[in-house]
């Protein structure tokens, strides 16, 4: 995979692409100016914040907790986002964190659940001390907001990012029994004032144009606070309306999230399920979209699930935590089967006696929700005999940097890559300002999607036009699975777009990224690859009449970081051999 693949170079943009970019720049630039101008009002709102009268209930935090982590935190070791920091008798909130991801987790206080699970006097005292340190250093947006440039340590700029503040507010309310049991009156008063300050800050952010996933998480945090505290009758109504609106916008009719990232479903369900219970406990009518969204999201989560309980690596999904997935699916009262056809989210699932296949047949998300989206149109993941065999490379734990950029490229997915370029265009190098960071503005649309169920074979056919503006070619993919098992057939072709004369022949590569646990060896006069699964089963990959290579690959979605893997690659030229038939056969 080339390091610069997928980056936009303005000299290569078509007129239509330039118009799209300009329109996005105007819209998002105006929003950025509006929010920047609102910063003084935001700070003023926090100064005038009204605290709640009292906390009434603490919603259950259903995330997995580990009491041994409490000992590490007391000793000064903070292990978040695959990085460990030794505070060495300093406050962790004064340190420059090793990554933005580490800082976000630290400032979000979700780790308080581990101290609560320890259930000791020492853990409670330590929790109060850490919250007190944070309040002293970052207790209001002016201490270290994203726009102020003040505060101790790099993490100051992250402390009052809206999504981090929303996470912190939810964590503090959920873990309030830990923080307030045995607390003195001064701490209790300071704690309530901080809740009021968070509420004022987040309400102002919602009013001044907060967008994307952060808007929904902020609405959840405000709704949780309003239902769990006395004195927020007006907020209860306003937050419920915001929550209803955002769930209607962001949770699609088939239960997927508009960002098309399975991880977002997990993150949301861990907040929405306790919120639903909190409404019930207070005997308050929940927003209509809340219950409906949860009921749709759980079957959608099952769509992405492989037989080994990992989730398919589409559009920003990284490591699957099996315990967390099991916790969420345990709330699915109907024990629903996975949905197979998710037309609004753009995914398809197929199951036979020995195979499970999931395919990405959707367009790119809206720009505000595309910061973690991948350029993987028509990619698929395949499990055989209960083991994941073919997949995408997945997302690493870091949110930015060369590794994340590489993981988003088309070449990191099990699909066709033309001229070593990605099918979607990332905006990072388009000169559109910081607001464009990580977004995708131009990407493929899916055409002629058809699903086949019944008969001896099941499968799908679809075409995407991501390469049409640059090369006048579209990618057609057809995949079918033998219902009785033992065979998966595929067909890839580059089809000239109507009314376009493609330029000279372009090199293409069809990649099949193998899971690290699968062992592969070339056979059959260079046209095939034998795959050995962990259970001893063997499957043969073969591309009719084509040279097949076995190359080094990468698997980013690993608990211990990136792992070496292999990939099957079939190469050709668009003007000579634009059609490729391939097959997986039981050995």
* Angle, alpha carbons 453-460-545 (nearest 5°): 120
Please give the Cα distance from 202 to 145 (Å, whole number). 13
Please give the Cα distance from 377 to 492 (Å, whole number). 13
Please give the Cα distance from 587 to 187 (Å, whole number). 67
Residue 268 pLDDT:
98
Please give the Cα distance from 155 to 80 (Å, whole number). 14
Q: What is the pLDDT along the chain (587 residues), one digit of tens a residue?
A: 443 444 433 335 555 655 565 566 555 555 555 555 555 566 556 666 789 999 999 999 999 999 999 999 999 999 988 788 998 889 999 998 888 889 999 999 999 999 999 999 999 999 999 999 999 999 988 644 443 333 334 445 689 999 999 999 999 999 999 999 999 999 999 999 999 999 999 999 999 889 999 999 999 999 999 999 999 999 999 999 999 999 999 999 999 999 999 999 999 999 999 999 999 999 999 999 999 999 999 999 999 999 999 999 999 999 998 889 999 998 886 567 889 999 999 999 999 999 999 999 999 999 889 999 999 999 999 999 999 999 999 998 877 778 888 999 999 999 999 999 999 987 654 445 555 567 887 889 999 999 999 889 999 999 999 999 889 999 999 999 999 999 999 999 999 988 677 777 899 999 999 999 999 999 866 789 999 999 999 999 999 888 899 999 999 998 777 889 999 999 999 988 899 999 999 98
Are 269 and 297 in contact, with CB atoms under 8 Å apart? yes
- With CA atoms as reference, report the closest residue to 216 among 253, 249, 183: 249
Q: What is the dihedral of CA 106, 109, 111, 116, to 10 degrees?
A: 150
Residue 542 pLDDT:
94
The distance in angstroms from the start CA to the end CA of the chain is 30
Please give the Cα distance from 528 to 525 (Å, whole number). 7
For tokens 């937050």, what's the residue?
Answer: 239
Q: How much of the chain is in helix, strand and coil states, percent to nearest 5?
A: 40, 25, 40
Residue 15 pLDDT:
57
E strand or H helix at 361, and its extent? none
* The two three-digit tokens of residue 457, written as one number: 């074979």
Q: How many helices (H) and strands (E) does the chain have?
A: 18, 23
Q: What are the two backbone dihedrals, phi and then psi, of residue 190, each rounded to the nearest 5 degrees?
A: -65, -40
Please give the Cα distance from 519 to 533 (Å, whole number). 7
Q: What are the structural domains, with CATH classification, of the chain?
A: 39-207 (no CATH), 345-586 (2.70.98.70)
Contacts of 263 (CB under 8 A, 6+ apart): 311, 316, 317, 318, 395
CA atoms lying within 13 Å on the CB side of residue 179: 25
Please give the Cα distance from 188 to 54 (Å, whole number). 10
Q: What are the two backbone dihedrals, phi and then psi, of residue 565, each rounded to the nearest 5 degrees?
A: -150, -175
Please give the Cα distance from 296 to 253 (Å, whole number). 8
Give the count of beta carbons closer than 10 Å to the beta carbon of residue 564: 9
The length of the chain is: 587
Please give the Cα distance from 281 to 70 (Å, whole number). 29
Please give the Cα distance from 536 to 457 (Å, whole number). 26
Q: What are the two backbone dihedrals, phi and then psi, of residue 52, each rounded to the nearest 5 degrees?
A: -70, 160
Radius of gyration of the chain (CA): 25
pTM of the model: 0.90
In angstroms, how far is CA 183 from the centroid of its own chain?
A: 38
Q: What is the dihedral of CA 404, 409, 413, 418, to 10 degrees?
A: -170
């Amino acid at each position: 995979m080339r390091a610069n693949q997928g980056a936009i170079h303005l000299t290569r943009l078509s007129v239509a692409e330039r118009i799209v970019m300009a329109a996005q720049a105007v819209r998002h630039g105006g929003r950025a100016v509006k929010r920047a101008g609102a910063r003084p009002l935001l700070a003023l709102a926090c100064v005038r914040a009204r605290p709640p009268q009292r906390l009434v209930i603490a919603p259950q935090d259903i995330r997995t907790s580990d009491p041994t982590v409490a000992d590490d935190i007391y000793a000064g070791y903070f292990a978040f986002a695959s990085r460990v920091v030794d505070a060495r008798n300093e406050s962790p909130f004064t340190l420059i964190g090793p990554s933005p991801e580490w800082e976000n987790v630290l400032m979000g206080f979700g780790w308080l659940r581990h101290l609560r699970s320890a259930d000791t006097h020492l853990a409670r005292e330590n929790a109060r001390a850490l919250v007190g340190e944070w309040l002293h250093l970052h207790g209001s947006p002016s201490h270290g907001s994203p726009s102020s440039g003040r505060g101790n340590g790099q993490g100051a700029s992250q402390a009052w990012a809206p999504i981090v503040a929303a996470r912190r507010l939810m964590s503090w309310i959920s873990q309030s029994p830990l923080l307030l049991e045995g607390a003195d009156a001064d701490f209790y008063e300071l704690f309530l004032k901080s809740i009021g300050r968070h509420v004022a800050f987040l309400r102002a952010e919602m009013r001044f144009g907060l967008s994307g996933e952060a808007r929904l998480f902020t609405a959840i945090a405000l709704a949780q606070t309003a239902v769990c505290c006395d004195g927020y009758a007006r907020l209860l109504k306003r937050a419920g309306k915001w929550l209803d609106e955002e769930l209607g916008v962001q949770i699609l009719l088939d239960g997927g999230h508009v960002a098309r990232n399975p991880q977002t479903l997990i993150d949301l369900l861990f907040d929405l399920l306790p919120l639903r219970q909190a409404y019930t406990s207070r005997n308050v009518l929940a927003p209509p979209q809340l219950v409906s969204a949860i009921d749709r999201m759980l079957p959608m989560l099952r769509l992405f699930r492989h037989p080994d309980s990992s989730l398919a690596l589409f559009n920003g999904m990284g490591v699957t935590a099996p315990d967390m997935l099991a916790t969420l699916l345990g709330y699915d009262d109907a024990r629903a089967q996975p949905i197979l056809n998710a037309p609004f989210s753009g995914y398809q699932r197929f199951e036979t006696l020995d195979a499970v296949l999931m395919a990405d047949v959707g367009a790119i998300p809206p720009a505000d929700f595309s910061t973690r989206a991948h350029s993987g149109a028509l990619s698929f993941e395949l499990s055989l005999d209960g083991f994941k065999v073919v997949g995408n490379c997945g997302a690493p734990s870091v949110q930015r940097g060369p590794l994340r950029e590489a993981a988003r490229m088309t070449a990191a997915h099990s699909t066709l890559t033309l001229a070593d370029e990605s099918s979607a265009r990332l905006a990072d190098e388009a000169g559109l300002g910081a607001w464009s960071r990580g977004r995708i503005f131009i990407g493929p649309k899916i055409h002629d999607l058809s699903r086949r169920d019944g008969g001896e074979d099941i499968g799908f056919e679809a075409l995407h036009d991501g390469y049409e503006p640059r090369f006048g070619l579209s990618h057609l993919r057809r995949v079918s699975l033998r219902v009785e098992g033992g065979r998966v057939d595929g067909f890839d072709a580059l089809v000239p777009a109507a009314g376009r004369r493609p330029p000279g022949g372009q090199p293409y590569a069809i990649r099949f990224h193998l899971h690290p646990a699968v062992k592969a060896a070339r056979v059959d006069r260079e046209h095939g690859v034998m795959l050995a699964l962990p259970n001893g089963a063997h499957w043969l990959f073969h591309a009719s009449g084509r040279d097949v290579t076995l190359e080094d690959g990468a698997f980013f979605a690993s608990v211990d970081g990136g792992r070496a893997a292999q990939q099957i690659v079939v190469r050709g030229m668009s003007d000579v051999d634009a059609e490729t038939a391939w097959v997986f056969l039981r050995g």
